[in-house]
Amino acid sequence: MSDHVFDATTETFEAEVLQKSLQTPVLVDFWATWCGPCKTLGPILEKLAGEYNGAFRLAKVDVDKQQEIAAAFQIRSVPTVFLVKGGQIVDGFPGAVPEGQLRDFLKQHGIEPGLAANEEPVAEEAAPLDPHAEVLALRKAIETEPDKAELKLDLALALLKTGAAAEAETLLDALPANLATDDRTIRARSRLSFVAILKDAPPVEVLEAAIASDPDDLRARRLLGVQQLLGGKEEAGLEQFLEMLRRDRSYEDGLPKKLLIDAFRVVEDQDLVGRYRRKMSSLLF
């Protein structure tokens, strides 16, 4: 597979197809190993993906291995191809079609060879998706698949990044039982608990001044650490909680340790989590 062709799975579909389609159109090719026409269409699609040099990405979905995705798209026969742009399906067709017809299909949707090579530099591709754009994309995806609870969980997580805690909590409360113990749900609940701590909290500058005046002001350290954690300065937030543990591990019935453990559920950078777990352990044992 080239850089522009990949196998889509249930776990990667939202990130690699829906979210990536905000920047680059994605063709989704539903196929099966036993399907004769798929063996004709698939190589043509892969050839065009390489020739178009990133103007679109090709997501391959094996319907036998990825039955959940096939069901969500209501696939009745293979091959079937859908075009996803801006986080939603905009067009598609069933069956194998000639290369010329495929080129016409792409052209109708403004996809020309080599466009993405100029429009999408590596720096942009590596940049994280803006949380507000992610929320918009997920809302559109939910309009297409309103019964897909996983998308609502993803939306709750995205909303938390924008500060919309109330709507996020409503979505989390409505999740089915099988998602209530999902790692992402636990992370979202932990994040919500941190959001609640900041109600009526002083500004960061006030908290920093309080700590500079009294390094043992653990209340200020707690609030500053939460501000930093939720504001994207995760290591700085963890450092505040660790400093609380250094200064008084018994503060408010072991609150410093609890803050660190809750923060470990929120932080997605597992290398950072591992580093601070070791620091915490060295202080406790």
Catalytic residues: 35, 38
8 Å CB contact between 106 and 24: no
The answer for residues whose C-beta is within 8 angstroms of residue 33's C-beta and 6 or more apart is: 62, 64
Q: Are strands 80-85 and 5-7 parallel, antiparallel or unpaired?
A: unpaired
DSSP string, 188-240: HHHHHHHHHHTTTPPPHHHHHHHHHH-TT-HHHHHHHHHHHHHTT-HHHHHHH
Task: Find how far residue 234's CA is from the centre of its chain.
Answer: 17
- What are the CA-CA distances from residue 140 to residues 90, 136, 155, 168, 205 (Å)? 12, 6, 11, 16, 38
Residue 82, beta-bridge partner list: 28, 92
Separation of first and last alpha carbons in the chain: 49
